[in-house]
Amino acid sequence: MAITTSKQFRTSNLSLVVSKRAAALPALALLAAIGLSSCQTASTDTVIHIDKAQGSSENIASLTSVINANPQDPEGYNVRGTAYGRAGEFSKALADFNQAIQLNPKFYQAYANRGLIYRNMGKMPEAVADYNAALQINPNYDVAYIGRGNIYRVSGRDDDAFNDFSKAISLGTTDGRAYNGRGVIYQKRNQQDKAIDDFSKAISLSPNSPEPYNSRGVSYLAQNDDDNAFADFNHAIELNNNVAESWSNQAFVYERRGDKAKARRSYQHAVNLDPTYQPAKDGLARVGAGA
């Protein structure tokens, strides 16, 4: 999820032949098999994507010089905190956001940014409290609804998450994560047409993000539309070939086709990228690791 400043500066988606067993799976059981029930799908857009260049000595020195020239300007701390956060320097980021809030207790963007840092540190209550504070100051701040909605979603509070994503959408957000997040909930509710509509909107807003492509592909799978699912998973890999979920999803289509050799290779690649990714581990066990 992007960190923002008061100026919205962002520092930095003919039918196949399937096996009878896989094709016969009910939609929700199929989704569970590839990880949706554990909120694996589309989870990567809820955390900071680390970019060490943001925390380079040259970049930080430049931002520090701005702060030194205007030590009472909270925006300088917010921007440097953003850089620290993107670089994975969470403690330093917290210190800067704390200072920005101390200088301006109404700085709702800094609350939301600090909330994202807490989210990445696994401090969910503190993160929610900061998103709440941001929304108390500015009830129309879409970024805070999306951030809080993502926490609710991974915590299993689907109704609360749905309401937050829908609120951000009603405010006219141009952030594709709101549509992706709501789409995942539609998906879990087995409302696949609505999910696909939301994922398509997310793709139109964030065409270079693999998450909504993976998400939409999962809904296509639930509708037994393997052609479109396979195309979405392959495009997700083209956008970022280091996401275990994309390779595992691609492997699942190969498995449904009955092509165990290709499924095995893709599942193995997913496990190599993330040894903890359970859907890939389960898939590899099904098709026979090393067979």
Residues 108-149 have pLDDT tens digits of 999 999 999 999 999 999 999 999 999 999 999 999 999 999
Query: What average pLDDT is seen over the chain?
Result: 86
Q: What is the pLDDT of residue 27?
A: 55
Q: What is the pLDDT of residue 213?
A: 97
Q: Does residue 5 register a pLDDT over 90?
A: no
Average pLDDT over residues 251-279: 96
Percent of the chain having pLDDT more than 90?
77
Do residues 107 and 78 touch, judged by C-beta distance below 8 A? yes
pLDDT bin (cut points 50, 70, 90) of residue 50 is low
Task: Spell out the alpha helix ranges (H) of the chain.
Answer: 20-23, 27-33, 57-69, 74-86, 90-103, 108-120, 124-137, 142-154, 158-170, 176-188, 192-205, 210-222, 226-239, 244-257, 260-273, 278-287
Nearest CA to 135 out of 151, 118, 119, 115 is that of 115
pLDDT bin (cut points 50, 70, 90) of residue 29 is low
pLDDT bin (cut points 50, 70, 90) of residue 31 is low
Q: What is the pLDDT of residue 33?
A: 63
Give the rounded distance of the alpha carbon of 97 from its chain centre.
23
Q: pTM for this structure?
A: 0.82
pLDDT bin (cut points 50, 70, 90) of residue 56 is confident
pLDDT bin (cut points 50, 70, 90) of residue 30 is low
pLDDT bin (cut points 50, 70, 90) of residue 15 is very low
Q: What is the pLDDT of residue 57?
A: 78
Query: Which domains can be identified in the chain, with CATH numbers?
Result: 20-240 (1.25.40.10)
